[in-house]
Amino acid sequence: MASEPERAASSGSRPLGPHTVLHVLLALTAVILAGRALGSLLALLGQPRVIGEMLAGIVLGPSLLGRLSPSAMNFIFAPDAAAPLGVIAQLGVIFYMFLVGVDLHAGRLPEVAGSVASVAVSSMVVPFAAGVALALWLEPPLSRPEVPFLHFALFVGAALAITAFPVLARMIQERKLEETPIGLVALGSAAAADVAAWCILAVIVGLVGGNLDAAWVVLAGAAAFVAAMLWVIRPVLYSLARSLDEGGAAAAAPLVLLGVLASAAATEWIGVHAVFGAFLFGAIIPRDGPLADYLRRGSADFVSVLLLPAFFAFSGLRTQIDLLDSAATWAIGGVVIAVAYASKFGSALLAARATGVSWRDSGGIATLMTTRGLMELIVLNIGLDLGIITPTLFTIMVLMALVTTMLAGPVLSLWIGRPKR
């Protein structure tokens, strides 16, 4: 399930070279500059800045810079920098999702629990079914002959069911929707749906590896982790937060950050992505009080400006647009994008409306749920590493993730208006 950089880091097969630190710093500098430049450009076009950060990896990778100047790409992303940069990227998204959890109005979630449940289930089940049906059509031209259809169909279904939890969270923050029903329902629904999608992915990995029992271990472990966080860790954090003043918050912050790492490591070990452990740990910290304020002030800029863009960019480095080398392949990509968007948007819109949410807010929620972005890229990399999908289908799915995410900004403005500057 690990990517090439992650495997290299974990195996220790590629020791750090004498210029590794220099190469990592150079890569980070290029990633941040490209992400900020593209983010500012796209912001002028009404797109969220996060889209620019996502595109930075593709621009700097083999799809563009690698074609124009392979030596320049290899100079910026030297082989010995790949593993350290990958670790930095993962840390970025982990701590970002922790801060999203800290800002979440968890106390208000019971107010929208019905809508969250309805949207989460519908926006998971309908796209998953659409993906399985789509796999019948995709298998002959884009599946590996040795891959059983069941594995292929389940993976395509899971890929269409994913919502980009970190991207959605960043869009909600950019629009200042955290305290609105749109933001609450979208965040809660995306978290629940993506955990379910990761459980499905665990089943697929178990099938591929011939160890289906491992999938049930993931399901049981995820349930036990959530229960422990809500009923054991949460009361401890509430008791701690109530007893702290400003100075005490500064002293307690290192312990909290250790808790973030432990929670992320626990969900990664269980088989659910580390971002969910970090997010849940942040969500159970009391939002009001000196501890939450200190954590926001002390780490928000560092995470969002330095660490997170590395994750967005690093995810695009495996995309090779030139694999789409025929009109037929581009047509297949268009159908995949259309099915992915329509199934997610339509199911979320009707589910939200059925629970009494206004058409305006339902449209906003549905639009946010269509973002695929980074979680999609993580899942697709797993499928590529396992040999379930071909590099061509990987590239089609990456384009689907980018297009559906890029549509979210303009469509959201149509539903709820443009963000205030």
pLDDT digits (tens, 9 = 90+) for 65-74: 888 888 888 8
Q: How far is it, in rounded angstroms, from Cα 376 to Cα 198?
A: 11
Pick the more confident residue, 97 or 285: 285
Q: Residue 389 — φ and ψ, nearest 5°?
A: -120, 155
What type of residue sits at position 398?
V
Domain boundaries, the chain: 99-292+321-416
Q: What is the pLDDT of residues 132-141, one digit of tens each?
A: 999 999 988 7
DSSP character string of 207-246: HHHT-THHHHHHHHHHHHHHHHIIIIIHHHHHHHHHT--H
Q: Which of 194, 182, 90 lies closest to 173, judged by CA?
A: 182
pLDDT of amino acid 343: 95
Beta partners for residue 143, in sequence order: 389
At residue 136, what are phi and psi to the nearest 5 degrees?
-60, -35
Q: How many separate helices (H) and strands (E) can be counted in the chain?
A: 20, 0
pLDDT digits (tens, 9 = 90+) for 145-160: 888 898 899 899 988 9
pLDDT of residue 380: 82
Q: Record the tokens describing residue 369, joined without a space.
A: 């749920």
Radius of gyration of the chain (CA): 21
Dist CA 53 CA 55 (whole Å): 5
Q: Using an 8 Å Cβ cutoff, are 85 and 30 in contact?
A: no
- Tokens of residue 222, six digits: 């995820």
Report the C-alpha gap between 192 and 117 in whole angstroms: 8
Number of other residues whose CB lies within 10 A of the CB of residue 136: 12
Q: Could you give the CA distance from residue 168 to residue 164 in angstroms, rounded to a whole number?
A: 6
pLDDT digits (tens, 9 = 90+) for 227-254: 999 899 999 888 888 777 777 888 888 8
Question: Could you tell me which of 171, 405, 289, 123 has the C-alpha nearest to residue 180?
Answer: 171
Structure-block tokens of residue 256: 């909290």
Tokens of 295: 């954590």
- For residue 1, pLDDT over 70 is answered with no
Mention the CATH class of domain 99-292+321-416: mainly alpha
Distance CA 273, CA 283 (A): 16
Which of 410, 418, 380 minimizes the C-alpha distance to 164? 380
CA 291 vs CA 40, 133, 247, 264, 361: distances in Å: 32, 48, 9, 20, 32
Rounded-to-integer distance, Cα 60 and Cα 277, Å = 31
pLDDT confidence of residue 228: 94
Site of tokens 């790492």: 261
pLDDT above 80 for 30? yes
Of the listed ranges 132-146, 246-260, 316-330, the one predicted with least confidence = 316-330
Provide the 8-state DSSP code for 419.
Answer: P
Show the DSSP H helices in 143-289 as ranges: 149-161, 165-174, 181-209, 213-228, 234-242, 246-270, 274-283
Decide: helix, strand or coil at residue 143.
strand
